[in-house]
Amino acid sequence: MDSTSHYHDDPEDSHVRLSGLNKFTRVFIFIFLIVTAGSFLKTTLAANITINSSNAIEFGQGVLATTACDNNILVTPYASFSNSTNTFKLSGFKISNLDTSVNGCVDEALTLNFYSDTSSVSLGSYAVVYTAGAFASNAGTLTSSGGGTTASTVTLTLSSASIPSGNVSKFTVQSSASTCATGGVCQVGDTGPGGGIIFYKAVSPFICGPTRAASCTYLEAAPASWSGNANGDTGTSVSWSGNTTQSVGSAGGDTSTATAIGWGYRNTLAAVAQDSTPTKAITLARAYNGGGLSDWFLPTKDELNQLYLQKNIVGGFKPSSYWTSSEVSATNIYMQDFSNGVSWSNGKSGGDGIRPVRAF
């Protein structure tokens, strides 16, 4: 082998090139750490966190995210199978390691929006608020632990699972000052989570819900245009139910439905279970889904009276009678005249106005 073909390796030259690369790498890592650390700094603005921008979300697996009020929360979405649609749907989510201390997310609404990979329009928006020592949300059932600490956990089980999980590719988490619509404290006249108007605020919580197992503080009325008509009703007077001769009864086995505040949801569900004929007062009220919520109902006698007392604040009423969900007898229903406030009864086959309400 001659000198021109002799293999030569210069270890010193190789060492110099490697050292130069290490210097570059160290500078790059230092810059990367500065940028990364900066993304976790708390600001006065809410932070949007986009997860998995091109692939479907892996449900049941937690993802670390940052908001303006907390720099280290873990969000875990869940899905459940829907027999009616034969598909999995977003059924809830858990937020872990949430800072609910005074300097954290107290009185802040944490809002999650879910998106597909092709659209900037939210598939669904859900808010959770920690205030007055407890979590609140108008989107479903809450279970929580550790409120008031820096390691709180809250799980929101959605009242209506409507988003196919296979359509979800990303979500954002945002914190902002809470309002009535996002789960904060409400006052009469505020816009509620269903897009309607708060017309009743109880001094102390009342029993409510589909089985009377929940606790509520507020009553919200659908807006004047709930049915697509400016006058706030269905456009024409309609009868109460398709069954006009039999009593619905109540959960307690009474001969008529209840009249008190907190019974409207239960009354309406029982009436629809007895007869689900479309375009009747009870079915139209139950079918309304303002704000994407499915817990609207026809108010009881006492609930409708509270609505009458605030009719000018809510607005859009005709000067005529509106249906309640409270029976007088097997054939008659309580109603209230919104021109003078008089409560009276009418046959179930009569025609009167409708305004859905909800309790939360």
Residue range 97-139, pLDDT digits in tens: 999 988 899 888 999 999 998 888 999 999 999 987 889 887 8
Q: How confident is the model at residue 255 (pLDDT cuts 50, 70, 90)?
A: very low
Q: pLDDT at position 107, please?
A: 86
With beta carbons less than 8 A apart as the criterion, state whether 196 and 307 touch: no
Every domain of the chain and the residues it spans = 63-182, 197-359
- Two tokens, residue 66: 């940052």
- Two tokens, residue 179: 């309002």
Q: pLDDT at position 66, please?
A: 86
- DSSP for 172-225? EEEEEE--GGGTS---TTSB-TTSSEEEEEEEEEEEESTTS-EEEEEEEEPPTT
Count Cβ atoms below 10 Å from residue 326 Cβ, excluding itself: 27
* Rounded Cα distance, 259 and 54, in Å: 52
Q: pLDDT at position 72, please?
A: 87
